[in-house]
């Protein structure tokens, strides 16, 4: 379960105030896969970071049960001077999983080759996404936070990512940010549309997609 209680997030940049979330209260039951839909800049990634606990709200709070992953497309948890392998071993120790098993899992999944043993700062954005996605999928979470990462890479990698994600969803829930309605339909059972600081919740994913498409057409 993840519950938003009077959640507000405001950014102030160059004297301009941007409201991302405005007094939002909403509860998501355990084990569901939620599509987060909205225009670019609406605050979808910001909401993921608040759910993950890596970004504090301006006011209100988020209450959750179970283990929550970091946002999969977010590389801020990885140290730039450590190699991919060293970063993975560090995560394994933090989350209490077998480090050798996790290193092998990510090596096989991400397919980084020699780059796996080079500093993270040398990685391209695609390589970072592969590493972060593999790391999060290799750790058993109750809720996975996914931020467009399965759009990275060639068709074979996308297919492999989707298969792995669907396998994890047999025993876990997720929040998914994606501009692909095909991916949303495949991965999610319910949807929310973030618009002007408010969330509209839909039990029917098709209704959420239709709302989002109307917004995009305006």
pLDDT in tens, 126-153: 888 889 888 988 998 999 998 875 555 6
Q: What is the pLDDT of residue 146?
A: 86
Residue range(s) of every CATH 3.40.50.300 domain in the chain: 1-67+143-218
Contacts 24+ apart (CB under 8 A), 207-216: 208/35, 208/37, 209/35, 209/37, 209/181, 209/184, 209/185, 211/37, 212/37, 212/38, 213/181, 215/38, 215/39, 216/39
Task: Report the top-level CATH class of 1-67+143-218.
Answer: alpha beta
Q: What is the pLDDT of residue 115?
A: 97
Contacts 24+ apart (CB under 8 A), 195-202: 195/38, 195/39, 195/42, 196/19, 196/22, 197/19, 197/20, 197/21, 197/22, 197/24, 197/43, 198/22, 198/24, 199/4, 199/21, 199/24, 199/26, 201/26
Tens-digit pLDDT profile for residues 99-132:
999 999 999 999 999 999 999 999 998 888 889 8
Low-confidence ranges of the chain (pLDDT < 70): 73-76, 149-154
């Amino acid at each position: 379960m993840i519950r938003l209680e009077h959640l507000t997030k405001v950014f102030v940049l160059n004297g301009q105030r941007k409201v991302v979330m405005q007094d939002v209260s909403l509860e998501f039951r355990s084990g569901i896969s939620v599509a987060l839909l909205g225009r670019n800049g609406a605050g979808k990634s910001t909401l993921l970071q608040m759910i993950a606990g890596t970004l504090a709200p301006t006011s209100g709070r988020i209450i959750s049960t179970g283990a929550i992953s970091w946002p999969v497309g977010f590389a801020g948890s990885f140290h730039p001077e450590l190699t991919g392998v060293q970063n993975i071993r560090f995560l394994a120790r933090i989350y209490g999983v077998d480090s050798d098993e996790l290193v092998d899992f990510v090596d096989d999944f991400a397919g980084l080759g020699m780059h796996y043993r080079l500093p993270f700062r040398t990685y391209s954005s695609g390589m970072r996404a592969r590493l972060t996605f593999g790391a999060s999928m290799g750790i058993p979470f109750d809720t996975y936070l996914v931020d467009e990462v399965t759009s990275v890479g060639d068709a074979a990698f996308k297919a492999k990512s989707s298969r792995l994600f669907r396998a994890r969803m047999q025993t876990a829930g997720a929040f998914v940010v994606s501009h692909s309605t095909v991916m949303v339909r495949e991965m999610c059972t319910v949807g929310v549309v973030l618009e002007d600081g408010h969330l509209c919740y839909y039990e029917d994913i098709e209704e959420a997609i239709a709302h989002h498409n109307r917004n995009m057409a305006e």
